[in-house]
Amino acid sequence: MGRKNKRKIHSVLFHIEACMLGFIMIYPLLWLLASSFKSNQTMFQDAYSLIPKVWDVATNYKSGFAGIGGVRFSTFFMNSLYVTVVGMLGCVISSLFAAYAFSRIKFRFGNILFGCVMMTMMIPAQVMVVPQYIILKKLNLIDTRISLILPWFFGGAFFIFLMVQFFQGIPRELDEAAQIDGCGRIQTLFKILVPIVKPAIITSSIFAFYWIWQDFFQPLIFVNSTKKFTIPLALNMYLDPNSYNNYGGLFAMSVISLLPIILFFIIFQRYLVDGIAMDGIKG
């Protein structure tokens, strides 16, 4: 009986600690949501409280959707959605082809090239902005949505590495059997291998979607026109140190900007867990 009581006590303590830790982790999101309901006048009078003293939901969300600089928030939202979806598709598909080549095709200096790709993971993204800007400038693509897509469109070292790990765990006999049945390399990739590495593809898609959606630095450098701003740049415009700061609209639109990421994660979280778990087992 003593051991059973100890186990129950440990179980209760574990769940209490887990709930407390979970609340601490989710508190910033709850604070953001609660702040979007507060009025600008009382927002920082009870900054730590999750229950507004004065509710001003309609005003905050209405002023937020009205946008800034004569451009509605829906324009910023569609810019981000277009750049993110197209950039994510290009990044994941390019990474898939590169990973397939490195893992299933033998060619000269393949290991050396793969090592060079992996080394790019150590290069900060800010360092790459200068050569990217020069290239885009020569192509007359600065201040266009294409300039926000191209840096992501040709794959990523992390995604290539992740998919290579999955490809290496698949028996090569499947490729040989497909070739005997008359499949080419592209058919073998999409008909045989892609269904097997689906967790890695979806995991890469989730990370790519999040990284592109929340990117602030590249749009800041590559885009000048307000109508082409993405959400991170637009949210920054709600704060003006020389005039009135619309904190209510800022927090309201911050909540809206988080919805696509949360929905995307909820829909595909099962594949994310499977992808990381399977990769860990193979590693």
At residue 59, does pLDDT exceed 60? yes
Q: 111 and 87, same structural domain?
A: yes
Helix (H, G, I), strand (E, B) or coil at 145: coil
Q: 276 and 247, same structural domain?
A: yes
The CA–CA distances, whole Å, from 210 to 23, 98, 270 equal: 23, 21, 16
pTM here is 0.84
The CATH number that applies at residue 161 is 1.10.3720.10
Average the pLDDT over 69-97 and give the result: 93
pLDDT in tens, 187-217: 888 888 888 888 889 889 989 999 999 999 9
As a whole number of Å, the CA-based R_g of the chain is 24
- Which pLDDT belongs to residue 10? 85
Q: 178 and 161, same structural domain?
A: yes
Residues shown for the chain: 283
Question: What band does 172 get if pLDDT is binned at 50, 70 and 90?
Answer: confident
Q: Write the DSSP symbol of residue 51.
A: S
Helix (H, G, I), strand (E, B) or coil at 177: helix
In the chain, the number of structural domains is 2
Exposed, middle or buried, 46 (CB in 10 Å: 0-12/13-18/19+)?
middle
Q: How far apart are CA 202 and CA 257, in angstroms?
A: 21
* Structural domain range at position 18: 2-62
The CA–CA distances, whole Å, from 80 to 76, 150, 220, 224 equal: 6, 14, 13, 15
